[in-house]
Chains A and B, each alone.
Chain A
Amino acid sequence: AQTVTQSQPEMSVQEAETVTLSCTYDTSENNYYLFWYKQPPSRQMILVIRQEAYKQQNATENRFSVNFQKAAKSFSLKISDSQLGDTAMYFCAFRNYGGSQGNLIFGKGTKLSVKP
Chain B
Amino acid sequence: DTEVTQTPKHLVMGMTNKKSLKCEQHMGHRAMYWYKQKAKKPPELMFVYSYEKLSINESVPSRFSPECPNSSLLNLHLHALQPEDSALYLCASSQDLGFLNEQFFGPGTRLTVL
Contacts and interface: CB of A to CB of B under 8 A. Distances in A.
B90 interface: yes
Contacts, number: 57
Contacts of A98: 99
Interface string B91-114: 010100101101111111000000
A106 B100 contact: no
A11 B104 CA distance: 26
B12 interface: no
A108 B97 CA distance: 24
23 contacts: A42-B107, A43-B107, A43-B108, A44-B105, A44-B107, A44-B108, A45-B43, A45-B90, A45-B105, A46-B105, A47-B103, A91-B42, A97-B99, A100-B56, A102-B48, A102-B55, A102-B97, A103-B45, A103-B48, A104-B45, A108-B41, A109-B40, A109-B42
A95 B42 contact: no
B66 to A, nearest CB: 13
B6 to A, nearest CB: 10
B50 interface: yes
B86 to A, nearest CB: 15
Interface of A: 33, 37, 42-47, 50, 52, 91, 95-98, 100-104, 106-109
